Amino acid sequence: MSYSFSLSFSLSALSFIFTSVSDTIISVRNLTKQYQADQAGGIKNISFDIDRGDVVAIIGESGSGKSTLLKSIYGLLKTDQGEILFNNERVKGPDEQLIPGHKQMKMVTQDFSLNIYAKVYDNIASQLSNTDLKTKSEKTLSIMEHLRILPLQNKKIIELSGGEQQRVAIAKAMVADTKVLLLDEPFSQVDALLKNQLRADIKRVAAETGVTVILVSHDPADGLFLADQLLIVRDGELLQTGKPSEIYQQPKHIYTAQILGNAVVLSRGDAEKIGIKTFAASVVFYPEWAEISSNWSSRRFEVKDVYYKGFYDELLLERNGVAVRAIQLNRGEYKKNDHVQLNISRFLEF
């Protein structure tokens, strides 16, 4: 009796410890970096937290400050204001230590920084010390297996494709017990087909090893598919952060709906011209929120164009001079100059 009591007590004490310990690995607090005093550029007052083991995607157009943010987190850039905490400890800037960059983080940039004449295996193993050769080889082979590059181990880097080099660079960055992996545009040199595979592999490796991944991309498709947390940046500002599905369904800014889902944006006047009543300045909806039908008696939209999108068509429709886009899954059903009805079942107001 007393035994079962003490067991249940210690279990609840344990769960208390686990839930009360913060699971945040990185906190970015009011981070500001301006490269030139009188010019735009850099990042402005950015704050967010990252949970341990999450895959985080930072999405924004070119020049929006993604690389600046990534370098700041790693400790490569001297920032103007704010701080980064790694396990509640402040990350030192480049002027505060001999070798810039946090020891438990690694950053993979677009140039990969690989020794192109050395073998894949040696590039990765070079990150580990020679004091324990058995562990060195075990760890190297293990990370290569995680990234599915074991068959490449004896090839030289110059013999590899861009996508293969990307995998080697990630393996090299992860092999020495890295806790946070920073990836700057990891998909930019990878073909569309292999991209899906690399995305899935990054997600899987994060789950298997517990490493926290922060990746930067200008292509929202990379983030939406993969990330536990998404950050949308524009002109150096963080517009919104959260789960991909939440941000997609409830964007706080019109821009977010445009970059994530190529949303249709209408002024109030234009919205009214196609039958949407609103008091807001703008109405926003994703093309897939608009249902097309030819069954209704009133077919007031004219099909202006049909764009082939693979497994669906996107239709450009017009009514009273207002153009909108809608998705047609049943490909080829409508063609130019057809008339259809559109039921916009859901829209957001801004």
Choosing from 27, 50, 60, 195, the residue that interacts with ligand ADP (CB under 6 A) is 60
- Cβ–Cβ under 8 Å, residues 231 and 87: no
- Cβ–Cβ under 8 Å, residues 128 and 176: yes
Nearer to ligand ADP, 233 or 344 (CB): 233
Token pair in block for residue 176: 């020495």
Sequence-distant (6+) residues with CB within 8 A of 51 are 23, 24, 25, 212, 228, 229
Q: Could you give the C-alpha distances from 51 to 32, 183, 209, 266, 286, in angstroms and in order?
A: 22, 17, 15, 37, 30
67 near Mg ion (CB under 5 A) = yes
At 16, the amino acid letter reads F
Our CA dihedral for 178, 183, 184, 186, rounded to 10 degrees, sits at: 140
127 near Mg ion (CB under 5 A) = no
Query: Candidates 61-69, 153-161, 166-174, 261-269 — which segment interacts with ligand ADP by CB under 6 A?
Result: 61-69
DSSP string, 101-136: S-TTEEEE-TTTT--TTSBHHHHHHTTS-TT-HHHH
Query: Candidates 23-31, 59-67, 220-228, 278-286 — which segment interacts with ligand ADP by CB under 6 A?
Result: 59-67
The helix or strand, by DSSP H or E, that contains position 293, with its residue range, turns out to be strand 290-293
* CA–CA dist 66, 32 (Å, integer): 13
42 near ligand ADP (CB under 6 A) = yes
Nearer to Mg ion, 67 or 209 (CB): 67
Query: Candidates 13-21, 62-70, 252-260, 289-297 — which segment interacts with ligand ADP by CB under 6 A?
Result: 62-70
63 near ligand ADP (CB under 6 A) = yes
* CA–CA dist 164, 201 (Å, integer): 12
Nearer to ligand ADP, 197 or 258 (CB): 258
Nearer to ligand ADP, 66 or 106 (CB): 66
65 near ligand ADP (CB under 6 A) = yes
* CA–CA dist 253, 271 (Å, integer): 18
Which among ligand ADP, Mg ion, none contacts residue 65 (Cβ within 5 to 8 A by kind)?
Answer: ligand ADP
Choosing from 26, 46, 50, 68, the residue that interacts with ligand ADP (CB under 6 A) is 68
Nearer to ligand ADP, 123 or 240 (CB): 240
41 near ligand ADP (CB under 6 A) = yes
64 near ligand ADP (CB under 6 A) = yes
Positions in the binding site for Mg ion (CB under 5 A): 67
